[in-house]
Amino acid sequence: MSKRHEQDAMSAATAAEVTASTPTPTVDLNDKAYYIHRELSQLQFNNRVLEQALDERTPLMERLKFLLIFSSNMDEFFEIRVAGLKSQLAFGHEIAGPDGIQPRQALAEISEIAHRQITRQYAILNERLLPELDKHGIRIVRRESWTAAQKRWVHRYFRQEVAPMMTPIGLDPTHPFPLLVNKSLNFIVELEGVDAFGRDSGLAILPAPRVLPRTIRLPDDVCEGGENYVLLSSIIHAHADELFPGMEVRGCYQFRLTRNADLTIDPEEMDDLARALRGELSSRRFGDAVRLEVADNCPKKLTDYLLKQFGLSEAELYEVNGPVNLTRLFGIVSRCQDPTLQYPPFVPAIPKSLKKAEDLFQVINKQDVLLIHPYESFSTVVDLVRQAAKDPAVLTIEQTLYRTGANSEIVDALVEAARAGKEVITVVELRARFDEESNLGLATRLQQAGAVVIYGVVDVKTHAKLILIQRREGQKLQRYAHLGTGNYHSGNARLYTDYSFLTSDAALCEDVHKLFSQLTGMGKLLKMKKLLHAPFTLKKSLLDMIARETAHAEAGKPAHIIIKINALTDAKMIRALYKASIAGVKVDLIVRGTCCLRPGIPGVSQNIRVRSIIGRFLEHSRAYWFANDGDEVLYLASADLMERNLDRRVETAFPIEDRKLRQRIRKDLDIYLCDNTTAWVLQSDGQYVRLQPTDSQTPHDVQQQLLEKYCGPGAPTGR
């Protein structure tokens, strides 16, 4: 070897030694650049909903519905999320999340994005949807287009139905600005002249009667065919002068105020949750102001006046080209009789094992039953509770109730069971947001029937979906359980995707029994064999399963995680998934809404893909699948990967141990991952891109495919 080659070899060896001794640069997983702000991510979800209003493959009335759902989502976003950020500023207690964005900066970004989105929403309504509805004979007839006959009918309606309900409020020193109800429709009126008492303040407020419909169908005899509607706001505008006799109305402009609607109950000063909640519900209507919507033709001096009255800035003012209360247009959607403008109906399937079953207990005793809603009927769950209510062998029924609806068939069955003398124990979560009043009512009804009603644990919401039925069979006591990812709400079960699991597995039923014991009684944490439950074992167990998958990848084994949830915000979970990605684990996340993880960052999350499915059904099911070196593990859960679910709620995750059922869910998850029609893919910059099949690709719509899979190849899809 030449001296030069010898020196080169020595240099190479030295370099190798240096490289070997130099540690691989570690990634700081707390770097704020790796996280997306929660509220900004939620606005991205709302935008994906709004985009559905432009999808011409979707029936027209359903497109209008998506536009209105966007409004409803934005209302709640301001009532809860924006209100929370403003409260931090008000109390001088600003907390930045893992993304490092302070509340003040977040509010500024939210305002910019929300203004842009809401302007676009009204443009879609006025330029696309209303003209297309007009072509199908469905019209909102504007004041300037009213015929003489329509004007006469509207005037009669105003005199008979509207005027008697109106209470004009003049503004002067003895009539200060009224306290207006959250999201109510109001008008600010400019007046000229002096009234009977010599007052000439020049301003008045007109609150629209809340008991009147916001959309009124014109009778056919004053129209030339089709479905014709007028808005209550138009009727009031047209006849506002009649409410101020002898005065001249110089201007009448609609506005709507959004308030903080979150409930705050101090557990240290509460001895009865139900009584405390009843007191708080009335205050929700009059919380602090967070947003003002006005008609875009309202003069600046009046908008400035309103902003001053509500203590809001110009950034919190939204000037809109249309009705300020768009969600009230749901009245038009609900009256639509044209089937071509709506999703075609379908009949949810009944699994073969249940089709001819007269005794559900007999079926569940032999095998576990898995239902996938809405493709498979929720009626099986209702029938199980009904059968339990009538069955003399059933001794006890225990159930959690989070959202059930006003006319719940399941609550009817529980009432029947209690009246029949069975032991009925219900854990009613009174703090289910915006369902508090309904839940107070059903709790009272159950108590009056003789059921034991528990309100869960103070400061920890009971979000788990569980039923436990104990039945005397011969000499033994047999247990049956239902565990679900969704609520016991029959209406939602037709609109939301969710899992229901029916089992008589002794260990799992025993775990459910222990959980009910913890909720209804007091005592130390009970060890469970199969059930994972928050706020105790669920988070740690999920982190352990992610770490185990990470270890498999580090050992050179194939490793894969698939998680389907509604939201991902928990920083510990995100860091664990980043570690898994760095180790080489393939991570597929199907996250319907908020996602604070940034995929596709080189060296950090390049092995993570995040997709969101927006379609006919609200994706609500939660599934956690791990390859586990060939020994697959699958849990279905009531919990998302959010701090509130994992740390401050009672949640459950239950294993699917039957191989066929596990494979069935795994195949369905693959269909989600192949969707190239309704899926949106999250980019590392926090933006979402909608997938579109190329000319050479076969379109895949997961909800359509699942409809055909479970309801038959002839099942209508709406596409």
**Alpha carbon distance 464, 479 (integer Å):** 18
β partners of residue 32: none
Is 496 one of the annotated binding-site residues? yes
**Rg from Cα positions in the chain:** 29
Pairing assessment for the beta strands 227-231 and 138-140 based on DSSP bridges: parallel
Is 73 one of the annotated binding-site residues? yes
Tell me which of 239, 373, 463, 552 is the catalytic residue.
Answer: 463
Residue 463 annotated among the catalytic residues of the structure: yes
Is 433 one of the annotated binding-site residues? yes
Pairing assessment for the beta strands 649-655 and 496-503 based on DSSP bridges: unpaired
- Which tokens sit at 588? 């597929």
Side chain identity, residue 486: G
**Alpha carbon distance 259, 78 (integer Å):** 8
**Alpha carbon distance 41, 610 (integer Å):** 13
One-character DSSP codes across 34-64: GB--HHHHHHHHHHHHHHGGG-TTS-HHHHH
Which letter, b or e, does each residue of 355-388 get, where b requires 16 or more Cβ atoms within 10 Å of its Cβ?
A: eebeebbebbeeebbbbbbbbbbbbbbbbbbbbb
Calculated CA dihedral for residues 146, 151, 154, 156, nearest 10 degrees: -170
Nearest by Cα to 66 from 404, 402, 495, 376: 495
Residue 164, C-beta contacts closer than 8 angstroms, at least 6 positions apart? none
Calculated CA dihedral for residues 403, 407, 412, 418, nearest 10 degrees: 60
**Alpha carbon distance 397, 486 (integer Å):** 19
Indicate the burial class of 278 (C-beta count within 10 angstroms; 0-12, 13-18, 19 or more). Answer: middle
**Alpha carbon distance 145, 150 (integer Å):** 9
Report yes or no: 186 and 205 within 8 Å, Cβ to Cβ: yes
Nearest by Cα to 507 from 489, 484, 483, 524: 483
Three-state secondary-structure class, residue 652: strand
Is 46 one of the annotated binding-site residues? no
- Which tokens sit at 443? 């709790």
Query: Within a 10 A sphere around the Cβ of 222, how many other Cβ atoms?
Result: 17
Element containing residue 625 per DSSP (H, E): strand 623-626
Residue with tokens 């002096």: 194
Report yes or no: 584 and 559 within 8 Å, Cβ to Cβ: yes
User: Which DSSP category does 139 fall into?
Assistant: E
**Alpha carbon distance 396, 418 (integer Å):** 9
Is the omega angle on the peptide bond into residue 219 within 30 degrees of 0, that is, cis? no
**Alpha carbon distance 687, 682 (integer Å):** 6
Report yes or no: 114 and 76 within 8 Å, Cβ to Cβ: no
Query: Within a 10 A sphere around the Cβ of 240, how many other Cβ atoms?
Result: 20
One-character DSSP codes across 661-697: HHHHHHHHHHHHHH--SSEEEE-TTS-EEE----TTS
Element containing residue 154 per DSSP (H, E): helix 148-157
**Alpha carbon distance 649, 662 (integer Å):** 27
Is 620 one of the annotated binding-site residues? yes
Residue 120, C-beta contacts closer than 8 angstroms, at least 6 positions apart? 50
**Alpha carbon distance 257, 291 (integer Å):** 6
Residues contributing to the annotated binding site for Mg(2+):
403, 433
Q: Where in the sequence numbering do the catalytic residues fall? A: 463
Binding residues for ATP, as ranges, are 73, 496, 592, 620
Binding-site sequence positions:
73, 403, 433, 496, 592, 620
